[in-house]
Amino acid sequence: MTSTTTFALIRHGQTDWNAALRIQGATDIPLNDVGRGQATDAVAPLSAFEWDFVVSSPLSRAAETADLIAADLDLTVRHRIPGLIERNYGPAEGLQAGEELEALRFPGGFHGAETESDVAERGIDALQQLAHEHPGARIIVVSHGTLIRLSLERVLERQVGSITNASLNLVHHHPAGWKLAMLNGETPPE
């Protein structure tokens, strides 16, 4: 058995708050019909690989995305992992761009929000725990854009930009570190 664990990091499908450009964070907002379609569309690129199982954040938008993907790939969703929940934006949740949101902003975040460092650490801990418990496994992880982005930026030590809804982000975890193989469905530049 190989000690390289492969993760497909998938951001959930669209919600009404995504469409309205509202900050969701830890608020449990369900998928909309577009998001359900995106989850179904995510199956095609995932089908190019073999997968062992699916895990997700327990928030409904990620859980439903995971359920749709798992059903189409004939896989099971083994765990809903609290460490994969989106960043808690505190009082900024539900807000759109404007004066109220700007009043909460400071460099690196929002007053009352979970720090970027804490989010990255939480996401990496969840992935490393999966790699430890399932060495050599191929795992689809359905989570949230900010958590995926911050976790990738921490382990890769570089910026990766926005994570699009239901896109394939492929990363390999091995004893020597992490390797990004695909970002938002495309091979990343070296």
Both tokens of 19, joined, read: 């469409």
Amino acid at 40: T
37 appears as a binding residue in the annotation: no
For residue 75 the two structure tokens come to: 């896989």
Q: Is 128 annotated as a binding residue?
A: no
pLDDT at 1: 53
Q: Is residue 15 part of a domain?
A: yes
Q: Is 35 annotated as a binding residue?
A: no
Tokens 């859980």 belong to which residue? 63
Q: Per the domain annotation, does 190 fall within a domain?
A: no
Q: Is residue 63 part of a domain?
A: yes
pLDDT of residue 88: 98
Predicted pLDDT at 109: 87
CATH code for the domain in which residue 120 is found: 3.40.50.1240
**Which residues are catalytically annotated?**
12, 86
Distance CA 10, CA 167 (A): 6
Positive or negative CA dihedral for 129, 183, 121, 78? negative
Q: For residue 76, give the nearest of 52, 59, 58 by alpha carbon.
A: 52
Residue 187 lies inside a defined structural domain of this protein:
no
Per-residue pLDDT of the chain (190 residues; tens, 9 = 90+): 568 999 999 999 999 999 999 999 999 999 999 999 999 999 999 999 999 999 999 999 999 999 999 999 999 999 999 999 999 999 999 999 999 999 999 988 899 999 999 999 999 999 999 999 999 999 999 999 999 999 999 999 999 999 999 999 999 999 889 999 999 999 987 6
Q: How many domains does the chain have?
A: 1
Asked if the structure places residue 188 within a domain, the reply is: no
Whether 35 is covered by a domain: the verdict is yes
- The tokens for 173 are 């975890």
13 labelled ligand-binding: yes
Domain assignment of residue 151, given as a range: 5-182
Q: Does residue 189 lie within any of the structural domains?
A: no
